[in-house]
Chain A
Amino acid sequence: DAMVIQNPRYQVTQFGKPVTLSCSQTLNHNVMYWYQQKSSQAPKLLFHYYDKDFNNEADTPDNFQSRRPNTSFCFLDIRSPGLGDAAMYLCATSREASGSLSGRNEQFFGPGTRLTVL
């Protein structure tokens, strides 16, 4: 079955220790997204890749970086995790047209990685 896979499902890291979260997809979608969801809050978009083009949200801290080496994989790097970065991190994909037709297709989500910062 085509799907969005996130590894690991649970990640524990220490304050200040860099961590990388992984997302892969078998849907061959051109857009990949990373969302942060804190407890009882709405998922919040951190950034997305439209093909190889990186699009950062204005309020995403510099501490968060992303890489997309190919269509299938996308990584979220947290350079120096703080206690406030503990959250669920959701990866999503969609097949999007450009321009005015963007945002009209559903996003497919992975199961998420729950990050704990000690």
Chain B
Amino acid sequence: DQQVKQNSPSLSVQEGRISILNCDYTNSMFDYFLWYKKYPAEGPTFLISISSIKDKNEDGRFTVFLNKSAKHLSLHIVPSQPGDSAVYFCAASASGANNLFFGTGTRLTVIP
């Protein structure tokens, strides 16, 4: 039972344009959400997070939006750069629990 879902396995975007990666979750107890980025042969690295008390968090070119009523979050990257090409994982956790629940990832390719 996949509690965090990333329905797009891959996404291709032109350099300089916006990349939008989507994530849906089913567990209403989740109240903290993270995005991780993974390059080949490396472990996932933390990118950005958002608490359920917010609906937006921005860090440079990266912005995460949270829609609690729709149980949906998205990661916006603008402008996209070739170095952003990687697999992006969405993850969620519930208050008081250490475990993260991950999505299956979206492979982003930024075309120069």
- A interface residue numbers (CB < 8 A to B): 4, 6, 31, 33, 40-45, 48, 50, 55, 57, 90, 92, 94, 96, 99-100, 102-104, 106-112
Contacts and interface: CB of A to CB of B under 8 A. Distances in A.
B109 interface: no
B102 A57 contact: no
A43 B6 CA distance: 13
Contact of A107 (B2, B4, B97, B100): B100
Given A55-B98, A112-B43, 8 more contacts: A40-B9, A40-B104, A41-B104, A42-B101, A42-B105, A48-B98, A57-B99, A107-B100
Chain B interface size, as a band, is 20 to 34
A94 B9 CA distance: 28
B70 interface: no
B43 A48 contact: no
A108 B2 CA distance: 23
B93 A103 contact: yes
Contact of A42 (B2, B32, B41): B2
Interface of B: 2, 4, 9, 32, 34, 36, 41-46, 49, 51, 89, 93-105
B95 A100 contact: yes
Contacts of A4: 43
Given A42-B89, A99-B96, A106 B43 contact: no
Nearest to A37: B102
B42 A103 contact: no
Contact of A100 (B34, B49, B96, B103): B96
B43 to A, nearest CB: 3
Contact of A110 (B4, B43, B51, B98): B43
Contacts of B9: 40
Contact of A103 (B2, B43, B95, B105): B95
A80 B25 CA distance: 34
A92 B38 CA distance: 14
24 contacts: A6-B43, A31-B98, A33-B99, A40-B9, A42-B4, A42-B89, A42-B101, A43-B102, A45-B100, A45-B101, A50-B98, A55-B98, A94-B98, A96-B98, A100-B95, A102-B98, A103-B94, A103-B97, A103-B99, A104-B32, A104-B51, A107-B46, A107-B100, A112-B43
